[in-house]
Structure 1
Amino acid sequence: MTKDVIALTPKMPDLRTLLAGLFAGGPGLGVNGARDGAVVQLCSPDGRPLVSVEAPVLVHVPGEIERLLRCAAPGGPVWWTEARASAAIAEAGRLAGSFAGRLATVLGGEVWPPKAATTEVVPLTTDMTAIPVPLTEAPAVDVLTEATAVVIQDRPVVALTSWLSDAFRTASDADRSLQIVTPPTARLTLPTRTALRGLPNRWVIQDPEHGCYDGLSGAVLQWQGGTFSPVRNEHGAASVAAPFATAADTGDRQLLLAVRTRHRPTATLVLGRALEAVWRHLTGAPPAGWSTAEPVNLPWSTRQITELARARAPRPTLLIAVGDPERPGLATVRVRRTPAGVEEEITLGLGYGCDEQPPLDAIASLAEALDAEHGLVTLLTSLRAARRDLMVPARIEAPPVPVAFTLGGAETDAVGRRRAEHPPAGPEPLHLGRALHYPLGDGTDAGAWGRLKRLTEDLKRG
């Protein structure tokens, strides 16, 4: 049974309902708080956490339940209450299911996965003195060694939830890698894929037929020295698991944009407008919602985004935004204060099916608008053959291919306008007001990477 169980209810679970759910283990178990009250834990008599329950989140954004849980969502806004059971205790998964089932019964909601739902009392019979418990404050961590924090996820989509964000942060603070273990059917969201960037962080596929392998590189893995690492032959080379190398081009495409903007740190500055402009320009509508983790639960609001970033300053702020389910779109925004001003680093992916055309002809006008109104520094546009739903499978995927690179007007002046207008290795740019727009290809020619590399080297020398 899965270790993650989610109650989806039309009403907010109040304290009385939460306590009724936590009574799933009977009167012999205790309740503790963690993470400054953001997490409630059902504990064994000796204080060991069995089930950790995060504060309920009201999801207003259409499509998030379907996107992350692959199931039909109740109509209207829904409260998402997630319980994570300890992987070390046999009864913990049933306790989590009973907790969620009690909430759904009282509040008239549903449980994911449906088979986990129950309202029975689950007695604790495991000998707790024989169970090793990770010495960590991150409830998502299942195995902890000196080198690695391991998170086991048995769910169709591994999203960058607040659980997982906390695990990344805790592992990083302790100089540990984070390794996520899933079955081969799991998919990552783009924010989770981005968070895993950089070894020795890994996505570990646990395949009953093919053993363990890396879901992003395909390298066959083994557990050695308290971490998952590649199995190497006598020449030091790693082998690739057979399932990873089997992939077919379905015709789906992803349009990827990497945008940097810079603003003066004024009292009237409103953040998020650049991303909204990109979304409107390419889809005809603004983002549907935003949040600091998945599920994305808040309706789109540049005012609220600005207030959060101001409250966190000078620390950086990481945000996630999604679009309408009819046009899959997912973005991350990193807001940070630098000596040059307030910068937004935006990555956006939009998904297109085999019968849909990505709007490549709209990129130049978008770049011109970003430079004129939103402090564009750079814009890199790429295209790749990948899933329309923007999920990351444990299969080999074609890398993105650059389509165009745009240098904002202020950045052009800093580089030197004469050199930027006539790079020695080309290509000749289009003038978009003060910005320069360099066409690199149509997204099918891998040689565009070489053209981009030569161009950026020329611009740096300027």
Structure 2
Amino acid sequence: MTKDVIALTEKMPDPVTVLAGLYAGGPDLRINTLADGAVTQLCTPAGHPLVSVEVPLLLQVPGEVTRLLGPHTQAPGTPLWWTEARASTALAEAESLAGSFAGRLATVLDGTVWPPEAAHTDVVPLGAETIAATAPDATPPAVDVLTDRAALVIQDRPFIAMTSWLSDALSTAIKTGRALQIVTPPHTRLTLPTRTALGGHPHRWVVQHSPTGYYDGLSGAELHWTDGAFTPVKNTDGTTRGADAFTSPSNNPTAQGEQQLLLCFRTLHPATENLLLGTALETAFQHLTGMAPAGWSTAEPINLPWSTRQLTELARARAQRSTPTWLIAIGAPEHPAIATTRIAHTPAGIEEHITLALGYGPEEAVPLTALPDLAETLAVRHGLTSLLTTLRTARRDLTVPPHLELPPLPVSFTLGPDPVGDIGLPHAEDPSLTPVPIRLGPVTAPALHYRLGDGTDPEAWTRLQQLNQHLASGVRRSAS
């Protein structure tokens, strides 16, 4: 198990200050570096990690401290430096060492520490058992337990964000054929990027709701530890047993009047030298929030001001290594909006797969009437191939709680001009369809916008399924 401690400072933690903080345990400890210097570890003389510290991150995007650490967190104003340390609780003194490290940084560099009760500046004497502890088998700094089947990350934070620590653990799990399993208490919530990353089998969010009880925070399946991983408990008939804590009304406060608008869209561009990526996402933000994204990054917290040029340069550099780009964009704090984008170079061109979520309170109108105009702009100017919009009752702050939430309901689906051409316009706008689609864009190469509902009608799923079947039959016919 590990404990996270974060120093939030006005001044940049230079290497000398970081090393001085790490030597809170005395001069006999070792310093190691990992990930090409991105992680510094304080270790016992025999090499057992005590505290792992990431390279300090300059946060230039307002609202990230509050979004990820809670509204009552005290911190300097933006910009600020975020220096995160993880302490292994395999050794008794490690947590106090992390607190002393963060406390020393905050004292020297005019800052604060999260959680505040962890901060101090004392020298931490090490016991003989800790000094003698030898290095365990190599594991990523974020992984607490590594088995043949799973990489476990145990965290007690208000929000589990897709940090670079967690991204590294996920990458390691995938490369080695393991499941990433994040274990948290029941008061923890996930950010949407973390929820997206855990969407693929066999990864899990494991919620501990009693000393011996666990359940999947996304599916509600009761879990138990067996053969080196958390797996579902089966009933006598072979079905998965559901956890009462996942559905119990006493544990599941509803989002009263709060809603989330979800857009999943895909764009396709020719791989030209002048291509600028991120413009489709920027357009969606402008139409639905009135402003461009506030910032972007490849992990949380979001630290970079929004720049289509910079993210294009990153995607181009990764494409040269045949590596897809995954990034996160965030909106201004006063209007919750967050998006994930996967950019990949394929034989067809440069593809952007974008998921955008926006939160609305009880007194805020969801801009459903803006969707056709947004769809047309994306189709005409940004290479849209498809856009599915859904609406759900859920938290305005866009976090994911470990209890049952109502599924989203379809609002509309837009098919871009190239897929319409592949299917055939007569088939794609068959007058027997209900409802009849609306043409968007040029007469010679229109996109088609299908209105499915207002986000309150469950039958919209049936209409979407029927539409997909109809369009798929057109693809098969044109292929033959």
Q: TM-score under structure 2 normalisation?
A: 0.93
What displacement does 1:218 show?
1.5
CA distance in 2 between partners of 1:348 and 1:62 (Å):
19
Q: Does structure 2 conserve the Cα–Cα contact (< 8 Å) formed by 1:423 and 1:458? A: no
- What displacement does 1:255 show? 0.2
Counterpart position of 2:12? 12
2:313 is aligned with what amino acid? E
Q: CA deviation at 1:283?
A: 0.7
Name 2:216's counterpart in structure 1: 214
CA-CA distance at 1:210 after TM superposition: 7.1
Match of 2:177 in 1: 175
Cα offset, 1:128, TM superposition? 4.8
Q: How many Å separate the matches in 2 of 1:359 and 1:452?
A: 21
SS at match of 1:101: helix
Question: The residue matched to 2:37 in structure 1 has which SS?
Answer: coil
Of 416-425 and 28-37, deviating more is 416-425
The SS at the match of 1:332 is strand
Q: How far did residue 122 of structure 1 move?
A: 1.3
How many residue pairs are counted as aligned between the two chains?
462
2:262 partner SS? strand
Which residue pairs with 1:442 in the alignment? 454
Match of 2:75 in 1: 73
251, 258, 264: which one aligns with 2:264: 258
Match of 1:407 in 2: 415
Provide the C-alpha distance between the structure 2 equivalents of 1:413 and 1:262, rounded to a whole number of angstroms. 15
**Residue 431 of structure 1 corresponds to which residue in structure 2?**
439
Q: Name the structure 2 match of 1:21.
A: 21
CA distance in 2 between counterparts of 1:325 and 1:273 reads 21
- The CA deviation at 1:92 is 1.1
Alignment partner, residue 308 of structure 1: 314
Moved more, 53-62 or 235-244: 235-244
Q: Paired residue for 2:373, among 355, 365, 372? A: 365
Q: Where does residue 454 of structure 1 map in the other structure? A: 466
Alpha-carbon distance between aligned partners in 1 of 2:206 and 2:8, rounded to the nearest angstrom: 29
Counterparts in 2 of 1:134 and 1:183: CA distance versus 1, 3 Å:
farther
Counterpart Cα distance in 1 of 2:108 and 2:378: 50
Separation in structure 2 between the aligned mates of residue 261 and residue 73 of structure 1, nearest angstrom: 39
Alpha-carbon deviations, 1:333-372, whole Å to 9, x = none? 1110111110111100000011111100000000000011
User: What does 1:142-153 correspond to in 2, within 5 Å?
Assistant: 142-153=144-155
C-alpha offsets along residues 265-308 of structure 1, whole Å, 9 cap, x if unaligned?
A: 11110000000000000110000000000000000000101110
Equivalent in 284, 296, 299 of residue 293 of structure 1: 299
Amino acid at match of 2:283: A
How far the C-alpha of 1:195 sits from its partner, in A, is 0.6
The question of whether the paired residues in 1 share the 8 Å contact of 2:75 and 2:112 is answered with: no
For residues 56 and 407 of structure 1, the distance between their equivalents in structure 2, rounded to whole angstroms, comes to: 44
Q: Which residue of 2 aligns with 1:389?
A: 397
Task: Give, in whole Å, the separation in 2 of the partners of 1:183 and 1:111.
Answer: 22
Identity %: 61
Aligned to 1:108: 110
Amino acid at match of 1:53: V
Distance in 1 (CA, whole Å) between partners of 2:39 and 2:323 is 24
Q: Distance in 1 between matches of 2:173 and 2:279?
A: 33
Whole-angstrom CA distance in 1 between matches of 2:153 and 2:275: 39
Change (3 A) 1:441 1:133: farther
Which segment is superposed worse, 37-46 or 204-213? 204-213
Counterpart of 2:54?
54
Q: Kindly indicate whether the alpha-carbon contact (under 8 Å) linking 2:296 and 2:304 is maintained by their aligned counterparts in 1.
A: yes
Q: Quick check: 2:139–2:146 contact (8 Å CA) kept in 1?
A: no
Distance 1:133 1:31 in 2: 13
d(CA) in 2 for partners of 1:237, 1:419? 42
Alignment partners' CA distance in 2, 1:101 and 1:176:
36
Residue 416 of structure 1 deviates from its aligned partner by: 1.2
Q: CA deviation at 1:242?
A: 2.3
In structure 2, the gaps of 5 or more residues are 475-480
Tell me how far 1:76 sits from its aligned partner.
2.4
Q: Tell me, yes or no, if the aligned pair for 2:324 and 2:345 is still in contact at 8 Å.
A: yes
Distance in 2 separating the partners of 1:97 and 1:447: 54
Distance 1:202 1:235 in 2: 23
Between the aligned partners of 1:366 and 1:95, the Cα distance in structure 2 is 52
CA contact (8 A) 2:59 2:80 kept: yes
Partner SS for 2:386: strand
Once residues 126 and 56 of structure 1 are traced to their aligned partners in structure 2, the CA distance between those partners, rounded to angstroms, is: 32
Structure 1 residue 135: Cα displacement: 2.7
> Which residue does 2:477 correspond to in 1?
none
CA spacing shift, 1:28–1:251, aligned 2, 3 Å: same
Q: 8 Å contact 1:86–1:92 — kept in the other structure? A: yes
CA distance in 1, matches of 2:439, 2:132: 70
Instruction: Give the counterpart letter for 2:63 in structure 1.
Output: G
Contact 2:46 2:131 in 1 (8 A): no
Q: Deviations over 1:8-46 (max 9, x none)?
A: 001110011011111111112110011111000000010
Task: Quote the residue 2:88 is aligned against.
Answer: 86
Question: Distance in 2 between the 1:355 and 1:210 partners?
Answer: 42
Change (3 A) 1:99 1:249: closer
User: 286, 302, 310: which one pairs with 1:280?
Assistant: 286
Match of 1:117 in 2: 119
Q: Secondary structure at the match of 2:36?
A: coil
Q: Counterpart of 2:198 in structure 1: which amino acid?
A: L
Change (3 A) 1:423 1:173: farther
Q: Is 1:335–2:335 an aligned residue pair?
A: no
Residue type at the aligned position of 2:415 = L
Correspondent of 1:190 among 189, 192, 196: 192
Quickly say closer, same or farther: Cα 1:249–1:82, change in 2 above 3 A.
Answer: closer
For 1:176, give the aligned amino acid.
R
Give the unaligned 5+ runs of structure 1.
Answer: none
Question: What aligned pairs does 1:219-234 form with structure 2 within 5 A after superposition?
Answer: 219-234=221-236
Matches of 1:333 and 1:241 in 2, distance apart? 33
